[in-house]
Structure 1
């Protein structure tokens, strides 16, 4: 595993998200009620930043065209998005958010 520290746990409120660039890759970290998740920040439909969208339940809704992805799995859940975004494991260690890029 290749865990990368991205920020403090206190940096992201519950039901919020924040984007980071990790090893040249744009990643969005989400803090949902039941835990922490991360996906690629780039919508597979038209290269828009997902971190500029809205969290609805367990989905991230892209601001460009209203397509959506499951935050936990990266699965495309709403048209026009059909190709999933990559999802990454997240852990909290000593108050720090870490993302596994492997």
Structure 2
């Protein structure tokens, strides 16, 4: 499995998200304490950047219509979204975050 450096861990705000692009794919890198997640950075409902939304309780909320997605599975936890977003494998090496675009 090939991992690509996405960003420095210090660039990802705690309880927040950072938008990155890997091989022309928009990815939201999200950190909650020591846990780091990566998911497709496009809401499955309204096609806006999820990385601009609020992060809480292992979910990210789309800022436009309020759909929330579980950071671990990508599944929507409330409407209006009904389709999941892709989640990606993450590994931390030193001070950097690496992401594999193969869905986890």
Look up the match of 2:88. Answer: 88
CA RMSD of aligned residues (A): 1.0
Look up the match of 1:51. Answer: 51
Instruction: Using structure 1 for the length normalisation, give the TM-score.
Output: 0.95
Deviations 1:43-93 (A, max 9, x none): 000101101111121111101101110011101111001100000011111
Deviation at 1:34, TM superposition (A): 4.5
The answer to whether the aligner puts 1:9 opposite 2:9 as a matched pair is yes
Instruction: Using structure 2 for the length normalisation, give the TM-score.
Output: 0.93
- Distance across 1 between alignment mates of 2:85 and 2:59: 12
Unaligned residue ranges in structure 1 (runs of 5+): none
Count of aligned positions = 102
Unaligned residue ranges in structure 2 (runs of 5+): none
